[in-house]
Chain A
Amino acid sequence: MRKRVLVVLLSVVMMMAMLLTGCGSSTPAPSGGAAAPAAGDAGITKDNIKVGFVHISDPSDMGYTYNHDVGTKEMQEALGLSDSQIINKFNVPEGAECDTALRELVDAGCNIIFATSFGFEDYVKEVAAEYPDVQFCHATGYQAASSGLPNMHNYFASIYEARYLAGIAAGLKTETNKLGYVAAFPFAEVISGYTAFYLGAKSVNPDVTMQIMYTNSWNDPTVESQVAKALIEKGCDVISQHSDSTAPATTAEENGVWQVGYNNDMISAAPKASLISARINWGIYVTEAVQSILDGKEIPVDWCKGLADDAVFLSPLNTAIAAPGTQEAIDEAAEAIKSGELKVFAGPLTGEGVDFDGKTVTVDIAAGDYYPEQEQASAPSWNYVIPGCTVLE
């Protein structure tokens, strides 16, 4: 008998709770169950919005996560959110831990959750399907559109534009006309980046060639340093990288050659080697997405902006060591990219690559045409090695 009374009582409480949140009560129900996340309508204000982040590392990596966290801080400042409204999950591996982290953020009452590493995407898709009232934004992924989930979104920036410009600094500086590239994994994100870098260098130095070696890790300073050293031994005198640490920069410095960085200004780590770095400004998207929730607007399924919108940029040029005229050449190309007059992947351009199934694929862009990189989807799709680039394995 007592049990039955309890059941009735509980259902009444639950109904009340649902009614209250449905009417847009400003105090969200306390956490502890599926009813916890506040509904996605007008109830979310600047005072009660909660924003969650899942990162693969933490800002002390001074690389990718650091750079994304700079974006978080920008958003926080722009919207005037308090520290308690932002919940970061750091050092989350690309495995089942991601699933747990996402659910913890939902339980903590987050209205919007950003997952920032490529390997998080499957977990985001799964959790997003279960919590339709929470918005999920995944960086560098490609499955939001195909998932059909209205609350899952992909975002990235046209980093290849900044890499193209950084390549100009390398192309003007090289004396041996051999560039080296320390690359993490043979994914489109990485291949698109180094191809753009090479095309930038080639635009100012037609004789330049590039050698690419993979580390098979996003962050392994020892291997990055060893790979950089091996490239230098092969005659490369400007080293660039798609990997997190400063090891390629310091290895270049120790061997008297130069380096072009990624994610962070590396000049203070290697003042005699680091020329410039290509960076993403995540703050623009993060601010826009959170603002959309406050305004009750839709977040785009795929978001990708580039140089023209300042979503990618270059760290200051190391004028003490850069070749004369570098800044001018970069500025000129930047203007042309911004106006749409210059396309990075412009024809005539041919390349050969391997798709996810291991099949060889080719691309052939005619003169006057261009490859619409990151235009249809936010994730990079250029997956082809072009003549002049050699992958060493």
Chain B
Amino acid sequence: MLDVATSLTIAAVLAGTPLLLGALGEILTEKSGNLNLGVEGMMFMGAITGLIGSYSYEQAMLAAGMTPTGLMSALIALLVSFIAGAFGALIYAFLTVSLRANQNVTGLVLTIFGTGFGNFFGEYFGLKAGGYVAVSAVTKAAFAPVHIPVLSDLPVVGQLLFSYNWMVYFALALAVIMAWFLMRTRVGLNLRAVGEDPAAADAAGISVTRYRYLATVIGGGICGIGGMYMSMVTTSGVWVHGCVSGYGWLAVALVIFATWSPLRGILMAVIFGGLMIMRMYVSIPGLPVQIYDMIPYAATILVLIITSVRQNKEHAMPAGTGYNYFREER
């Protein structure tokens, strides 16, 4: 029984991590007043570029007669996937903030673009490699579960807390930093003001354009890192066609589930991940798998209903999100 609970929790954390990263990126974006539905696209861009970054680094090192290191490989994947996601978000920010295009449509277009981008370059590098684009054992080890002496060996606790890959801890740290940034710093306060009421923020001398650009681009980069988790951890550094498909949308659902709070996001990601994989560990006799698979979405709808009934502004989408700000229209 304890064994099942432990494995379930571990699997839930692993399933929730890419969603948490995607959701964190989207929370930052939405806090600035941009509703970027292109999470899926940016995750695809991060997934392929992160993998190609690591792969190319390994190939280049081997060609130069040197041995690639896992640390460098992981850093390159992190950096490149951030840049790719940020690039996708930059397109979005330019279209919506500068050109004032419709946010929903632009986000959807970014999803389509990113999906094509990921699969196109995946296929291109696959053809070049003459088979699978797969990283070597060194990089695979860098993304494998960590082993901390003493701590990881503790019974139960060691497994539950100290047996994940580094990206899990990275996502946790990022959530805490983001929560601190949003609630405890002046810049974070300004950002929230821009998202709630851009006109008021503008009147207070905050540059709406700059805040929206920066938050969207950094948020997109974080989504890209979430995508990199899919290609480097979920599929262990082997490119799989359409590997993100659908999980970007789950990240958007998680933003609602977490009610736009990075800290609640941590807990909700684990619950969300847990609901996704529960059927593999706990069977409910007579419940068809298809119904079981619906639970996370049913839960999201439930959260939406509860939050809209409670009308609590703390737990709602920032009021200005979804609308472009145009100073002359005040």
Q: Interface of A with B (CB < 8 Å)?
A: 57-63, 213-214, 216, 219-222, 225-227, 229-230, 233, 244-247, 250-251, 253-254, 266, 268-272, 392-393
Interchain CB contact under 8 A, B241 and A226: no
Query: Could you say which residues of chain A place their CB within 8 Å of the CB of B140?
Result: 250, 253-254
* Selected A-B contacts with CB under 8 Å, 5 pairs: A58-B123, A60-B127, A246-B235, A268-B131, A269-B238
Binary contact track B266-304/A, C-beta < 8 Å → 1, others 0: 000000000011011101000011100100000000000
Closest-CB distance, B92 to chain A (whole angstroms): 25
Count B-side interface residues using an 8 Å CB cutoff: 38
Interchain CB contact under 8 A, B7 and A233: yes
Instruction: Decide if B247 is an interface residue (CB 8 Å cutoff).
Output: yes
Given A58-B123, A268-B134, check contact A226 B280 (CB 8 Å). yes
Interchain CB contact under 8 A, A60 and B122: yes
Interchain CB contact under 8 A, A393 and B283: yes
Give the contacting residue for A222; candidates B127, B230, B289; CB below 8 A. Answer: B230
**Closest B-chain residue to A186, C-beta based?**
B289
Please report the C-alpha to C-alpha distance between residue A127 and residue B234 in the assembled complex, in whole angstroms: 40
Given A226-B11, A392-B283, A393-B283, check contact A245 B290 (CB 8 Å). no
Instruction: Decide if B36 is an interface residue (CB 8 Å cutoff).
Output: no
Instruction: Decide if B27 is an interface residue (CB 8 Å cutoff).
Output: no
Binary contact track B156-178/A, C-beta < 8 Å → 1, others 0: 00000000000000000000000
Query: Could you say which residues of chain B place their CB within 8 Å of the CB of A60?
Result: 119, 122-123, 126-127, 241
Interchain CB contact under 8 A, A245 and B283: no
Known: A254-B140, A254-B144. 13 other contacts (CB 8 A): A57-B242, A61-B241, A219-B242, A220-B245, A221-B234, A222-B15, A222-B247, A226-B15, A230-B7, A244-B241, A246-B240, A253-B236, A268-B131
Please report the C-alpha to C-alpha distance between residue A273 and residue B186 in the assembled complex, in whole angstroms: 52
Given A58-B123, A221-B235, A233-B7, check contact A393 B240 (CB 8 Å). no
Closest-CB distance, B117 to chain A (whole angstroms): 13
Within 8 A of A (CB), among B224-247: 230, 234-238, 240-243, 245-247
Closest-CB distance, B278 to chain A (whole angstroms): 10
**Closest A-chain residue to B241, C-beta based?**
A61
Closest-CB distance, B204 to chain A (whole angstroms): 44
Query: What 3 pairs across the A-B complex have the smallest Cβ distances?
Result: A250-B236, A60-B123, A230-B280
Query: Could you say which residues of chain B place their CB within 8 Å of the CB of A271?
Result: 137
Interchain CB contact under 8 A, B123 and A245: no
Interchain CB contact under 8 A, A62 and B132: yes
**Closest B-chain residue to A265, C-beta based?**
B131
Please report the C-alpha to C-alpha distance between residue A225 and residue B140 in the assembled complex, in whole angstroms: 15
Within 8 A of A (CB), among B1-45: 7, 11, 14-15
Query: Could you say which residues of chain A place their CB within 8 Å of the CB of B236?
Result: 247, 250-251, 253-254, 270
Query: Could you say which residues of chain B place their CB within 8 Å of the CB of A213?
Result: 280
Within 8 A of A (CB), among B106-155: 119, 122-123, 126-127, 131-132, 134, 137, 140, 144
Give the contacting residue for A247; candidates B240, B246, B280; CB below 8 A. Answer: B240
Greatest chain A CB density within 10 A among B14, B245, B279, B280 is at B280
Given A60-B123, A250-B236, A269-B134, check contact A393 B243 (CB 8 Å). no
Give the contacting residue for B126; candidates A62, A227, A253; CB below 8 A. Answer: A62
Please report the C-alpha to C-alpha distance between residue A270 and residue B140 in the assembled complex, in whole angstroms: 10
Query: Could you say which residues of chain B place their CB within 8 Å of the CB of A219?
Result: 240-242
Query: Could you say which residues of chain A place their CB within 8 Å of the CB of B234?
Result: 221-222, 225, 247
Interchain CB contact under 8 A, A62 and B289: no
Given A246-B235, A269-B238, check contact A226 B277 (CB 8 Å). yes
Given A221-B243, A227-B280, A269-B132, check contact A250 B238 (CB 8 Å). yes
Query: Could you say which residues of chain A place their CB within 8 Å of the CB of B245?
Result: 220
Please report the C-alpha to C-alpha distance between residue A62 and residue B242 in the assembled complex, in whole angstroms: 11
Interchain CB contact under 8 A, A247 and B235: yes
Greatest chain B CB density within 10 A among A213, A247, A250, A271 is at A250
**Closest B-chain residue to A62, C-beta based?**
B132
Closest-CB distance, B271 to chain A (whole angstroms): 16
Interchain CB contact under 8 A, A214 and B11: no
Closest-CB distance, A171 to chain B (whole angstroms): 24
Query: Could you say which residues of chain B place their CB within 8 Å of the CB of A247?
Result: 234-236, 240
